Structure 1
Amino acid sequence: MNPYNSPDYTFPLFNQKQKSGNSNSIFQLINPHNVKKLPVAKRTLFYLINLIIIIVVSFFLGEIICRFHAFGWEAFKFKKTNSFVSIGYSGYLQPAEDQHVWYELKPDIDGLFKMHIIRTNSRGLRDQEYSFKKPPNTYRVAVIGDSFTFGDGVNAEDTYHAILEKKLNGLSDSTKVEFINFGIAGYDLLNYLGVMEAKAMAYDPDLILVGFCGNNDDDLPEARQYNEPFTGYRYVEWSWAVQRFQIFRTVANYMTIRRRKRNELANDEQSERKKQFVRDMFGEFRRVKTEHDIPLMVFYLSMADAAPEKAKLVAGLCKENGFPFIDSSPVVDGLDDISEYWFHDSDHHPNEKMHRIYADILLKSFVEVQLPEKKIAQLGYIKLPGFK
């Protein structure tokens, strides 16, 4: 005789008699009245299991909602959408030998970053291979900057300097122009200084072009950047979660926005410290310019959400230190809907359209070509030193 069909059989967990043919037995098992009769240990286990189920189901429902909100019908193209992370959580960084450079891209990367292709050369630059020795009849520009210059959210060929390189090469028969991309997301002015001295000068550039990001290039570096090896971004131990789950990326974006708002509301003392930091770094840039006898130019990259006084501060420092200054904000501030130029609604890095505008502004300043249907005479005319 099968003991499970016996009317005297007692269910071991719930101490509930099972009656043969009772179609409502499952409801009896979860009946609150019956649960209360369980021993404390079993009742606690029952509640714990239910709590875990609720948390797991809620998490995955939240993940689905966040994915659809961020990516629409591409939500479940996991390889593509999971690349939508900050560079510090991408796994593409390694410590740099120079303390001021601090970190750099790993060499020979071939993958995805923010849903776009990322490839690096054998020296860890997001660019093609270049020899240290400059070829004859070549005008070489070292482009130094952060995520705007690196190209967050666009392919390498769609960055402003790559577009400009192509346009300038179409205008000159005698000189080849090379723009070498030294930009990396997350860099600040201290990193720029390190890259100039430890990397860019090895390529014998004719010009250093600094892409000054109006949003955050006045941020103070982390204290550990001065004397500790790079071990990863803060909270990098959560990289595995950020790389795989949109719900964690949403939280990370929210925290970033909150941090930026706190920076905007920084007290006067911190604001003065930031200004002094920028002054000090521009003084160091002038030292590099003088020691290496090389022109240095500053391009102010605006996305219409930076404080307008930053552009004035940078313009004044450029004049003080003898750097040509190109300001994109007069054009960018005149755009009707800046959101059309974001890479993504939750990531306000410039998209391909904005990079083309940046390239046209630089082209106008370099070779006196007007932007189509736009008059930007206030930018002035700056000729590339040595370019014919």
Structure 2
Amino acid sequence: MSTAAGAVVAEFAARIVLDPVDYLKPRLVQDEILHHHIEPGSGGHDEWGFRNPAVPESVDIVAIGDSQTYGVGTTSGDAWPAALSRRIDRSVYSLALGGYGPVQYLYLLEHRALALDPSLVIVGFYYGNDIRDAYNAAAYLDSWESLRDSAFVAVRDSLRRAHNEHRGDEPEAAVAHHRGTMTERVV
């Protein structure tokens, strides 16, 4: 019994000491610009809050992306930026977190990636949600108000009003109203 307990304790300690990023829970905090980020140094993440051992002075490649690039569901060593680093024997720094999209990618490129003087930046664009993420960031985060197009905002607001006005309608009537609203507003 004591041997089994010792093995469990040793396994737990080894995981935390050897690869804390894979076994500790990072602390997610609100961010006015990025919407959210991982608290620097929490859960084995580096001093910028990303899934890397440390922030280097320079790096060969920077990978920017969302959960696909972060490697949700995998260990940090199995995420594609780490696999790429091993495969081509070049340093790769990951600037990725679930929920990020093109607006955050732009910010990370300008404020983090270029500071590492990479020879290459790879952006992991995920068609499944990155377009929606860009819309949401521009439409709802005050720090990205400059990205809003007045015609785009007018369509969004009109669709919201129409949605609220037609909640009890049959789906066909609501769709017809939305289609009419968009036709009036979009050039």
TM-score where L is the length of structure 2: 0.57
1:179–1:267: structure 2 CA closer, same or farther, 3 Å change rule?
farther
**Letter aligned with residue 104 of structure 1:** H
Asked if structure 1 preserves the Cα contact closer than 8 Å seen for 2:63 and 2:96, the reply is yes
Is 1:121 aligned to residue 58 of structure 2?
Answer: no
**Letter aligned with residue 168 of structure 1:** I
- The within-5 A match list for 1:178-197 is 178-197=91-110
Is 1:106 aligned to residue 21 of structure 2?
Answer: no
**Letter aligned with residue 94 of structure 1:** V
The root-mean-square deviation of aligned C-alpha atoms, in Å, is: 2.6
Unmatched 5+ stretches in structure 2: 1-24, 145-177
Higher helix share: 2
Which of 206, 210, 214 pairs up with 2:119?
A: 206
Higher-Rg structure is 1
- How far residue 123 of structure 1 moved from its aligned partner, in angstroms, is 1.9
- The within-5 A match list for 1:1-388 is 92-96=27-31, 99=33, 101-110=34-43, 119-132=44-57, 134=58, 140-169=60-89, 177-219=90-132, 220-222=135-137, 223-227=139-143
| Residues 28-86 of structure 1: per-residue CA shift (max 9 Å, x gap) | xxxxxxxxxxxxxxxxxxxxxxxxxxxxxxxxxxxxxxxxxxxxxxxxxxxxxxxxxxx
**Hey, which bits of structure 1, 4+ residues long, moved more than 3 A?**
266-269
Unmatched 5+ stretches in structure 1: 1-89, 111-118, 170-176, 229-265, 274-388
Take 2:142 and 2:60, find their aligned partners in 1: how far apart are those partners?
Answer: 30
**Letter aligned with residue 70 of structure 2:** F
Take 1:187 and 1:159, find their aligned partners in 2: how far apart are those partners?
Answer: 16
1:120–1:91: structure 2 CA closer, same or farther, 3 Å change rule?
closer
Asked if structure 2 preserves the Cα contact closer than 8 Å seen for 1:94 and 1:105, the reply is yes
| Residues 239-282 of structure 1: per-residue CA shift (max 9 Å, x gap) | xxxxxxxxxxxxxxxxxxxxxxxxxxx9795xxx9xxxxxxxxx
Counting aligned pairs with the same residue, the percent is 25
1:212–1:267: structure 2 CA closer, same or farther, 3 Å change rule?
farther
